[in-house]
Amino acid sequence: MTPNERVKFLQGKLGFNTQKEFADSINIKSGSLSDILRQRVGVSSAIKDRLAFIHQVNKEWLETGEGPIFREQATRAVNEKEGIPYYDIDIEELAEENLEMMEREPAYYVNYKPFNDCSAYLPVYGNSMHPAYSSGDIIAVKEIWNRNVLLWGEAYLVLTNNKANDLRCVRFLHEHPDETKVILRSSNSQYRGDIIIDRENIVALYLIKGKITRNLI
């Protein structure tokens, strides 16, 4: 089988009855999937990444036909509410203090063992954290309850109250000489200047444990 034929095989193997269901599960257009299944286009790296990330497909098998179909370490979640929710929302538009308080349903669930202790998966929009996190990346975030124990220099999703202008952003956290404050820093050199906020104005804080890079289709 070719990689395209293996993608077609996966639709049935994963239990999807229609191309639309399969396309929706990996967040691509039905027409894009149809082009792959009809072998009009090749299977892009982005599609391979999504199949590996969302459905635990073994990329070596997808590319060459060698090895097991699925990654041995992971447990697949197909059409079940297992794993960690993925919310297809703009971080800056978050209106609630805590992701668990959001009323909307997640787009889907991701069951990926290394990140199964996380709170959610979210997309990144904008380039303020490029190249560390670029527009189109998906980040796995874990809520931090004790804000007095932080990993300085690591990236966090920070949500603040109106005293700090209701910031919702991804930034590297750095220690401030005043222990009541923290420094938020971008990784994009075009975004100059640090943001300094009071710890007490942070209403929710999430450590970014990892990411997956994707191309928007």
Sequence ranges of the domains in the chain: 3-64, 86-212
Q: Which CATH superfamily is domain 3-64 in?
A: lambda repressor-like DNA-binding domains (1.10.260.40)
pLDDT of residue 37: 92
> Which contacts of 36-42 are long-range, i.e. CB under 8 A and separated by 24 or more positions?
36/4, 36/7, 37/4, 37/7, 37/8, 37/11, 39/2, 39/4, 39/5, 42/3, 42/4
Instruction: Please give the pLDDT value at position 79.
Output: 42
Three-state secondary structure readout of the chain: CCHHHHHHHHHHHCCCCCHHHHHHHCCCCHHHHHHHHCCCCCCCHHHHHHHHHHHCECHHHHHHCCCCCECCCCCCCCCCCCCEEECCCCHHHCCCCCHHHCCCCCCEEECCHHHCCCCEEEECCCCCCCCCCCCCCEEEEEECCCCCCCCCCCEEEEEECHHHCCCEEEEEEEECCCCCEEEEECCCCCCCCCEEEEHHHEEEEEEEEEEECCCCC
Predicted pLDDT at 147: 83
pLDDT of residue 41: 92
CATH superfamily of 86-212: Umud Fragment, subunit A (2.10.109.10)
0.85 exceeded by pTM: no
How confident is the model at residue 214, as a pLDDT? 58
Which pLDDT tens digits describe the chain residue by residue (217 residues)? 899 999 999 988 888 889 999 998 888 888 999 999 999 999 988 888 888 878 888 888 999 988 888 875 444 444 445 678 888 888 877 765 555 545 567 888 887 878 888 888 999 988 899 999 988 899 999 988 888 889 999 999 999 988 999 899 999 999 999 999 999 999 998 888 899 999 999 988 999 999 887 543 3
Q: What is the pLDDT of residue 194?
A: 93
Determine contact, residues 32/217, Cβ cutoff 8 Å.
Answer: yes
Measured CA to CA, the distance from residue 162 to residue 144 in angstroms comes to 20
- Residue 69, pLDDT score: 87
* Side chain identity at residue 41, one-letter code: V
Q: Are strands 84-86 and 138-143 parallel, antiparallel or unpaired?
A: unpaired
pLDDT value at residue 177: 96
